[in-house]
Chains A and B, each alone.
Chain A
Amino acid sequence: MELAECAQAARARVPRPEDFDYAAYEEFFSLYLVIFTKRAIKWAKLLKGGGGIRRSVTVGLRPRWTKSLDTTTNCFKGESSPSLEEAIRTDLNRTFPDNVRFRKTAEPCVGYCQGMNYIAGYLILITKSEEESFWLLDALVGRILPNYYSPAMLGLKTDQEVLAELVRMKLPAVAALMDDGHGVLWTLLVSGWFNCLFMDILPVETVLRIWDCLFNEGSKIIFRVALTLIKQHQAFILEASSVPDICDKFKQITKGDFVTECHTFMQNCKIFSEPGSLSMTTITRLPENSRAALLAQG
């Protein structure tokens, strides 16, 4: 009962567009709530036992993402600067502008990079606690995604290069399309994916399932999701003949049933086996090469 309420409440906050398909929505949730409840019970058991396995965390339990955090991480040195405040203020009214809860909400103030507002914003919606949100954000910025939001954004740029490299290894036809005279294209296509961790890009429920993995097993999940999306729509992407075309296709592949059916997306081995093996050695070795290349570029 409490779970269903939480889920409903979280969803009820987004005003529906005129063409919203209520029938499809009801159908999806009548099926998904069953899975959802089963997961809740599993997670409750796991968290009690202190286990660190993934699968899905339910909305009711998501506030306990914090359990996976180190107890005290480094605190932010309280430098406040007018320009930083100005930057945050600029985006305050542009964070989930269509979400009623956000019309007047502030976000926790840390070194600010656009994109963090989405993350922080959603953390607050989910955990309903500014403090927990703060520490979750701290874990993301400091530990899970180092240098993603730093001024040079080297971590994010490196990971984009890593993704490019992974696509070269696993989906060479797509890589050939990108490399064909469009050297800088990857940032254009995927910076939103990495920067917002799929928030506002994939459907909310799918994003939450991805974040479950992100907080519990780390950043590797981002590559898996990206590769799965690209691989699933490979033929579609390869139809593109121009840069705008490619961009448009990369927008389209984040929509539709394939990503809305989050449980299938995550569970039916798509995320975990579709892109082929993705070993941690590959993931850790690649950034070193990519970072060297990025630093060489200046």
Chain B
Amino acid sequence: MAETYDFLFKFLVIGSAGTGKSCLLHQFIENKFKQDSNHTIGVEFGSRVVTVGGKTVKLQIWDTAGQERFRSVTRSYYRGAAGALLVYDITSRETYNSLAAWLTDARTLASPNIVVILCGNKKDLDPEREVTFLEASRFAQENELMFLETSALTGENVEEAFLKCARTILNKIDSGELDPERTGSGVQCGDASLRQLRQPRSAQAVAPQPCGC
């Protein structure tokens, strides 16, 4: 059965090793916590169709390996991503400290306009917290990121993180800030939206063009 959707967004999940990137993805797609999770080698991905603001959007999510030396491999997949979940572990300052490097990678390699949501994962491990909510939200503000604390274990805010990111991209499309037909936008139009987008254009083409003479 062919899936119908208005848009397809390419998403990335990035961040240091062991922050729970694959578990976030698993929770979002399967609605449960991945108990025995392997570390990711290279890149994996999953997809899910969601409804946001009355539009059907297929999220194609690329889950990347977090270990430093895999970065040279995973970087190749950043190109043309519309959105990203930038993940750190609230119980590990080290993963928080490397956020800036990940963000630079995303903005240089994917697109300067990539919509990024910062996710402080493992919210359920609050007693072991090393990074405060306030500190991270300040970082998010300074770097123009959205921010949520999530728990791949309980599922808290996981759905919200993906949807928030998707909603922001849709808003950008609506406002004309993001042109879905530009290559590398990270957005592809499904059948339905293609019709919507093309109609006004063909109408324009029929209208008499001002003549130079």
Contact = CB atoms under 8 A, between A and B. Distances in A.
B73 A157 contact: yes
Interface string B36-69: 1111011101010000000000001000010111
A98 B72 CA distance: 29
A277 interface: no
Contacts of A152: 69, 72
Interface in A238-253: 244, 247
Interface string B70-82: 1011001100000
Nearest to B18: A90
Given A86-B94, A114-B17, A187 B73 contact: yes
Contacts of A113: 67, 69
A188 B60 contact: no
Nearest to B44: A247
Contacts of B69: 113, 150-153
Interface stretch (A123-131, A167-175, A191-199): A191-199
Contacts of A1: none
B70 A114 contact: yes
A153 B73 contact: yes
A46 to B, nearest CB: 34
Contact of B42 (A97, A117, A192): A192
B76 A184 contact: yes
Given A90-B18, A98-B36, A151-B69, A247 B42 contact: no
A179 interface: no
B65 A114 contact: yes
Contacts of B77: 184, 188
Contacts of B17: 87, 90-91, 114
A63 interface: no
A114 B72 contact: no
Interface string A127-153: 000000000000000000000001111
Contacts of A95: 38
Nearest to A112: B67
B79 to A, nearest CB: 8
A90 B92 CA distance: 11
Q: Which of B42, B67, B76 has the most CB of A within 10 A?
A: B42
Contact of A87 (B60, B67, B76): B67
Given A114-B41, A191-B42, A192-B42, A97 B36 contact: yes
B63 to A, nearest CB: 12
A184 B62 CA distance: 14
A150 B47 CA distance: 32
B70 A94 contact: no
Contacts of A91: 17-18, 39
A131 to B, nearest CB: 26
A115 interface: yes
Given A87-B17, A113-B69, A195 B45 contact: no
Given A114-B65, A191-B42, A97 B37 contact: yes
A98 B34 CA distance: 12
Name the residue in B37, B68, B73 with the highest tally of chain A Cβ atoms < 10 Å from its Cβ: B73
A244 B67 CA distance: 23
A196 B41 contact: yes
Contact of B73 (A94, A117, A191, A244): A191
A5 interface: no
Contacts of A153: 69-70, 72-73
Contacts of A217: none
A200 interface: yes
Interface string A250-289: 0000000000000000000000000000000000000000
A159 to B, nearest CB: 13
A38 B70 CA distance: 42
Nearest to A201: B41
A187 B44 CA distance: 11
Contacts of A191: 41-43, 73
Contact of B43 (A114, A117, A188): A188
B206 to A, nearest CB: 33
A251 to B, nearest CB: 9
28 contacts: A87-B67, A90-B17, A90-B18, A91-B17, A94-B38, A94-B39, A95-B38, A97-B36, A97-B37, A97-B38, A114-B65, A114-B67, A115-B41, A117-B39, A150-B69, A151-B69, A153-B72, A157-B72, A157-B73, A187-B43, A187-B73, A188-B42, A191-B41, A191-B42, A192-B42, A195-B41, A244-B45, A244-B47
Interface of B: 17-18, 35-39, 41-43, 45, 47, 60, 65, 67-70, 72-73, 76-77, 94
* Nearest 5 interchain pairs by C-beta: A191-B42, A97-B36, A90-B18, A184-B76, A192-B41
